[in-house]
Structure 1
Amino acid sequence: MHKNDKIRDNLWLFAWTVSIIALLGSLYFSEVRHFNPCKLCWYQRILMYPLTIIIGMSVFRRDYRISIYIAVLSGIGMITSLYHYSIQKVPFLSSHAPACGPISCTGEYINWLGFITIPFLALIAFIIIFISSIIVFKLSKND
């Protein structure tokens, strides 16, 4: 086994683990803590949940060709999460944010350390998965 193969395998397993933690975290907030997700939270879930299944299948099959598609999905998730986080934390954006349904997208169910909100957690997960998928793609392309 090549050194790059081991790095690729471990990095892809790490990306899958991050997606599982994000999935379980979102279910915890909605099903255990009873936080109703807003419309943007639903969009982020729509992008994150399939990543868990697709990356998981890719890990077990050792099929890394899918990494470019994972990069696209997680990139869209990053943009969505960044926008959601911005309308929560940037006063100008939050005052001009459009109404997004019965649950306000500017509301913060959690605010740990003054900056960690649910969209921030999703953003970090999407960033990690995006970077991992780009690296896995590049390592696979060299083989």
Structure 2
Amino acid sequence: MPDTLSSRSEALPLLAFLIVLGATLGALFIGEVLGQMPCVLCWYQRIAMFPLVPILAIGLWRQDAGARLYALPLVLAGLAIALWHSGLYAGLIPESVSPCTKDGPSCSDRGQMAILGLPIPYLSLGAFTATALCLIFMKGKRS
């Protein structure tokens, strides 16, 4: 009988890749197809998310769990920004410290788009959190 914990941890690189791919495609769809301009915090999160797709894809292709060492700093940076953004949206952080300008779009505005009933800042927080957990619990050795 195979070790189910081991087989689950072997699926984590693929799951992490699928999460970042879905988040990247979702961000591109919202911006390019639906026409919603990203706010400053969304741009910073995109800077952290988009490079994760090729990093994790190459790690999968080469079966190299060491790719997590390259991905984890980006994931943690994006997670910190997403946490801040979600705090702004929830009203836990005052709007006066928000880098989003009054002239540009703000995802902290309650009138902004929500997907599946969840606002964009919470979706980003979920994607970065899930990816971080996948990377943390991945096997650390090369396959």
Q: Report the TM-score, using the length of structure 2 for normalisation.
A: 0.83
Name the counterpart of 1:61: 62
Instruction: Determine helix, strand or coil for the equivalent of 1:106.
Output: coil
RMSD of aligned residue pairs (Cα, Å): 2.4
Name the counterpart of 1:10: 11
Q: 1:98 to 1:56 in 2, by over 3 A?
A: same
Instruction: Determine helix, strand or coil for the equivalent of 1:35.
Output: coil
- 1:17-32 correspondence runs (5 A): 17-32=18-33
Aligned pairs, number? 138
The letter of the residue matching 2:108 is: T
Tell me if the contact between 1:38 and 1:104 (Cα under 8 Å) persists in the aligned partners: yes
- 1:1-143 correspondence runs (5 A): 3=3, 6-90=7-91, 93-94=94-95, 96-101=96-101, 102-108=104-110, 109-111=112-114, 116-136=118-138, 139-141=139-141
CA displacement at 1:91 relative to structure 2: 5.7
Quick check: which one's helix share is greater?
A: 1
Q: Report the TM-score, using the length of structure 1 for normalisation.
A: 0.83
Segments of 5+ residues of structure 2 without an aligned counterpart are none
Instruction: Determine helix, strand or coil for the equivalent of 1:36.
Output: coil
Segments of 5+ residues of structure 1 without an aligned counterpart are none
CA displacement at 1:85 relative to structure 2: 1.3
CA displacement at 1:141 relative to structure 2: 4.7
